[in-house]
Structure 1
């Protein structure tokens, strides 16, 4: 085995404690071969934004062969909290919505609320991000990209794979 070509896996995850341990167990990837990029909702808001840039650099600099886009099932409270906080900025948001709709056709969302909160359905978010990575012209075709959803209910974790055809299969 060529030690210079150690294959690593990249995990684009939500900002939630304990995901790395669960993912190590399910994927059987050693911690030293795991790279993690964390963001709220594990969302790639633009195919040429900072998160996608980090993904592409990791592929080439760290010999990433597989990418996992990981979301969590229970995120309702965080979205409600953002919406409450946004209420205090209603005038600014209306102005930004107008600008995004009329001046920036490349903006990835319809409204500021949608951009900040993401989609309600975690599977749709994961599927969208998997497709952005898979279809990016700078991502080599040999890199595998998979979507996973971690469900933390009753202290018990389960992981469901999110294929691009919208049907899910259990991994654990």
Structure 2
């Protein structure tokens, strides 16, 4: 990976602690130049939500020019079982709002908003696309998706323009 090790880099990762050291080793980025945002499933579910606000602030305040959305290949996808936590009527109401209250609630259903697609690669692709196409993200900012294998530290690039990993 060809990255200037003195340049500030933003990394959006799952809440797994092992990813940052693996990424530092893989990219040769100095720890003091790596900013990290942790999110369950590395999902940016809304283009004007809190995570995206932090991304934009990092770009302009820290002069970030490279952004990595990083997921873990081995990660078993956890999902929240809402029917046991909320009444079914409330879920139906929220699903109706997700389907009919665009752009405030995007994602189709409450489950899709909370859990993403269930496929780490697809979640990375969607998050990369949200950042790349955001009106406040300058064109010179490079956004890449990465899938890391925790066992060997091997990574692969997740390209949103294709249906498979490169």
Q: Secondary structure at the match of 1:120?
A: coil
State the shift of 1:101 in Å.
2.4
Find the counterpart in structure 1 of residue 12 from structure 2: 12
Is 1:159 the counterpart of 2:145? The answer is no
Q: How many residues align?
A: 157
TM-score (norm 1): 0.84
Aligned to 1:113: 111
Gaps of at least 5 residues in structure 2 are: 1-5
- Within 5 A, what are the aligned runs for 1:64-83? 64-79=64-79, 82-83=80-81
More helix by share: 1
The answer to whether structure 1 residue 22 and structure 2 residue 22 are counterparts is yes
Compare CA radii of gyration and give the structure with the larger one.
Answer: 1
Task: Write the distance in 2 (CA, Å) between the matches of 1:56 and 1:78.
Answer: 28
SS in 2 for 1:100: helix
CA distance in 1, matches of 2:159, 2:98: 31
**Residue 168 (structure 1) aligns with:** 165
For the aligned residues, what is the CA RMSD? 1.6
State the partner residue of 2:3: none
Matched, 1:63 2:63: yes
**Deviations, residues 83-133 of structure 1 (Å, cap 9, x unaligned):** 2xx12124221221123223x122211111111110122111111111111
Deviation at 1:77, TM superposition (A): 4.9
Work out which of the residue numbers 130, 152, 156 in structure 1 matches 2:128.
130
SS of equivalent to 2:114: helix
Q: Tell me whether 24-33 or 92-101 shows the greater mean CA deviation.
A: 92-101
- Quickly say closer, same or farther: Cα 1:74–1:136, change in 2 above 3 A: same
Alpha-carbon contact 2:8-2:33 (below 8 Å) kept: yes
- Distance in 2, matches of 1:75 and 1:109, equals 22
Q: In the aligned structure 1, how far is the partner of 2:102 from the partner of 2:140? A: 32
Contiguous gaps of at least 5 residues in structure 1 = 1-5
